[in-house]
A and B are shown apart, each in its own frame.
Chain A
C-alpha cells in the first residue's frame, strides 16, 4: 500500500466509514460527553491519543505474540487486556511528565479504557491485515472521525439547550433524534467513490 492509498484509507475512516455515524461504535461517550463543545473536544482528543497508541501496541501484540503461538482466536481478550493496561500506564505517565496534557485529558482517559471504538479500531486493523504504519494511521484517522462527530454533535446540542420542544421530546429523546439526523447527513459520504 503506497502513500496515496493510506490517505484514501484515512479519508474513508474519517468520513465515509465514520465510527459513530456509519458503524455505531463509541455511542456511549458520544451521547454522554457531548453536552458542551469543550468537553466533547477533550474527549475526542483523549480518544485520538489512546487509539493511535493502542493501534501500534495491539498490532505488535498480535503479530509477535498471538500469531506465532496460533492464538488469533483470543485477540479480543488480549486486546482488552493490553488496552486497559496501556490506558492506565499512559495516565500515570502523563500525570508525571506532561501535567498540562493530563489536566486536559485526565478525566476522560479512564472512561476510554474499555471503549468499544478503541477496541474495534484494533480488531478492524487485524481483520483487514494492515501493516504497522497502516494500523497506526487507521487508529488515528478513525479517532479523528470520532472527534469530528462528537464535536459537531456537541455544537448542535449546545444550541438546542435553550430550545423549547414539546415535553415528550425534552432531554434525551431529542438528543437521539438529533444524533439520527446527523447520522443521515453523514450517510451522504457513503456515495463517495474511492
Chain B
C-alpha cells in the first residue's frame, strides 16, 4: 500500500468539501431574498398568541399578509387598539378602530332541558360526536357539549356548564377560534356592546322544537310583535335580534314564553 492511496481520496474529498462550501456561500449571497423589514415590526405589534382567529396560520403569517396587502391592518380581533394603530402607521394607512366582539354560544339545551336520543360513549370530541348522527341531543342545532371549543380557546374563556358551552365575556377577546371549530356553527361573534341575544338556533317548527328541548325557540313571534324598535325578527321558526336597531329595553326577554332571550354583559 502506498501513501498515495490515502492522500488521493483525502485530497478529492477535501476538494469536494471546499467546492461545495464555496458554491453554497456564493449561492447564499446570490440567492439572498430581501425580507421586508416591516414584517418583524408588525409581528411586534400583534399579540403573538398565534390563535389563528384571523384565518391565517399564526401572527407571522398575518404580518406577511398585511405587508402584501392581502389582509387589512385591523384583521386581528385579539389585537389591542394601540397595536392596530401602530400597524397602520407602519403601513402608512389610516385604520379605523376595530369593533370589539365577543363569542356567544346560541344554545341553552342543557342536560336538564334538552332531550337525548341515545347515550354517546365515544371520543370526547364534538366533531367525532357530530359524525354519530349529529350528536346525542335530539335537536340537530343543539350544543353537543363535549368541549371542542374549550380546547380551541387559547384564553380559557369558554367552559362547558351543564352540557352546554358558555363564554366568559370578561376573558373572551373575540378571536373567533371557537366559532371556526364548532361543528354545529353555534358560536357567533357579537359586538361587545350588544345587550340581548336569542340563545337558540333551532329551525324546526314550534311543535317539534317543544319535543326536542325545553329551552328552544318555537317561533311564536311574541318578541317580534312586542319589540318597540323593530329589532327582533322571526325567520325560519327562530328569532334573531338586529344589534344595530336594539335599544336594550329588554321587553323581548321579559315577554319570551320560553325564556331564551338573555341579557349578555
Contact = CB atoms under 8 A, between A and B. Distances in A.
Contacts of A96: 30-33
A92 interface: yes
A88 B24 contact: yes
A89 B13 contact: no
Interface size class of B (residues with CB under 8 A): 20 to 34
Q: Interface of chain A, helix or strand or loop or mixed?
A: helix
B69 interface: no
B9 A74 contact: yes
Q: Interface of chain B, helix or strand or loop or mixed?
A: helix
Interface size class of A (residues with CB under 8 A): 20 to 34
B13 A78 contact: yes
Interface string B127-145: 1100100000000000000
A28 interface: no
B230 interface: no
B40 interface: no
A92 B123 contact: no
Interface of B: 8-9, 12-13, 16-17, 20, 23-24, 27-28, 30-33, 122-123, 125, 127-128, 131
Given A85-B23, A96-B32, 17 more contacts: A65-B12, A65-B16, A69-B8, A69-B9, A71-B8, A71-B12, A77-B13, A78-B13, A78-B16, A92-B24, A92-B27, A92-B28, A93-B31, A96-B31, A162-B125, A162-B127, A164-B122
A-B pairs with lowest CB-CB distance, top 10: A162-B128, A85-B20, A96-B31, A92-B31, A164-B123, A162-B123, A92-B27, A95-B33, A164-B122, A71-B9
